[in-house]
């Protein structure tokens, strides 16, 4: 069976009414993919952008409501300057070539993370993407950039304290109200978390929001992650029994 046939078969075996509404992905293994091929690490990231393109297109075609991609963590600043600079050039490259497609495919772009520390060119690229797609009603595409979950929770607590001091909060707050202070306010939590490259950890990604998500790990490096892998993850999700603590 060739790849196209396999892809079509997988696609038609996915149950459209049991799709994960929100898929979050930790895109890992770009560096190792490159090094194992004797290439510079940048090549892995460059190829990683191609995978982002395909993953976004495929998720939107399948009817996923929200796709959240971990593109740069608050810890990634500790990489060598040349690598940070290269990673910071990618949103611009991606939107320059992909924005017309995102608009056409009704995808809405959003940034989650502390954008105040991002270079102006990154903010500009993502903001332009968000502005151009703000009236779209299809898939919401979150780019997590300079994102760290503990930072997000502490930020939320500080906003809450301010609102309390300003008299905007009466009495105690509950989980639902707390969620509104996070970057993901008004979004439902991820149903499915995918992490590539064989690492079995969460790495400070959406710690609050992943409380009841189904986790799916693959040894495949992000540049090799294909539509087929995405659909396999979704198929696997569709046979899981989610009990949310109940029996």
Catalytic residues: 28, 76
Q: Which positions from 193 through 232 interact with ligand FPP, judged by CB under 6 A?
A: 197, 222
With CB under 6 A as the rule, give the number of residues binding ligand FPP: 19
d(CA 157, CA 107): 31
Q: Which residues contact 120 (CB under 8 A, 6 or more apart)?
A: none
The correct pick among 52, 64, 156, 187 for binding ligand FPP (CB under 6 A) is 52
Q: Which positions from 26 through 45 interact with ligand FPP, judged by CB under 6 A?
A: 27-32, 45
Let me know if 243 is exposed, middle or buried by CB neighbors in 10 A (0-12, 13-18, 19+).
Answer: exposed
d(CA 36, CA 42): 13
Q: Which positions from 73 through 102 interact with ligand FPP, judged by CB under 6 A?
A: 76, 87, 90-91, 94
Q: Which positions from 157 through 196 interact with ligand FPP, judged by CB under 6 A?
A: none
Distances (CA, A) of 76 to 105, 208, 247: 31, 21, 40
DSSP character for 79?
A: S
Measured from the CB atom, is 28 or 214 closer to ligand FPP? Answer: 28
Residue 234 lies near ligand FPP (rule: CB under 6 A): no
Q: Which residues contact 65 (CB under 8 A, 6 or more apart)?
A: 21, 22, 139, 140, 188
Extended strands (E) in 27-104:
66-73
d(CA 235, CA 148): 29
Measured from the CB atom, is 87 or 194 closer to ligand FPP? Answer: 87
Q: Which residue is nearest to ligand FPP (CB)?
A: 31
| Min separation Cβ 41 and ligand FPP, Å | 6
Measured from the CB atom, is 19 or 34 closer to ligand FPP? Answer: 34
Write out the residues near ligand FPP by the rule CB under 6 A: 27-32, 45, 48-49, 52, 71, 76, 87, 90-91, 94, 143, 197, 222
């Amino acid at each position: 069976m060739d790849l196209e046939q396999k892809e079509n078969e997988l696609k038609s075996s996915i149950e459209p009414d049991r799709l994960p509404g929100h898929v979050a992905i930790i895109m890992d293994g770009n560096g190792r993919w490159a090094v194992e091929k004797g290439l510079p690490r940048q090549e892995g990231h460059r190829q990683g952008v191609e995978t982002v393109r395909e993953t976004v297109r495929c998720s939107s075609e399948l009817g996923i409501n929200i796709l959240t991609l971990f593109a740069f963590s608050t810890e990634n600043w500790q990489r060598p300057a040349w690598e940070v600079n290269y990673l910071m050039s990618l949103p611009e490259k991606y939107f320059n070539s992909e924005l017309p497609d995102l608009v056409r495919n009704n995808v809405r772009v959003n940034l989650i993370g502390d954008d105040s520390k991002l270079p102006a060119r990154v903010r500009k690229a993502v903001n332009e993407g968000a502005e151009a797609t703000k009236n779209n009603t299809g898939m919401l595409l979150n780019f997590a950039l300079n994102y760290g979950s503990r930072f997000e929770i502490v930020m939320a607590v500080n906003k809450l304290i301010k609102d309390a001091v300003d008299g905007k909060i009466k009495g105690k707050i509950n989980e639902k109200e707390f969620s509104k202070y996070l970057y993901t306010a008004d979004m439902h939590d991820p149903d499915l978390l995918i992490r590539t490259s064989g690492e079995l950890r969460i790495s400070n990604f959406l710690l609050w929001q992943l409380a009841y998500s189904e986790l799916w790990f693959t040894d495949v490096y992000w540049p090799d992650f294909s539509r087929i892998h995405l659909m396999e993850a979704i198929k696997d999700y569709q046979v899981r029994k989610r009990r949310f603590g109940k029996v």
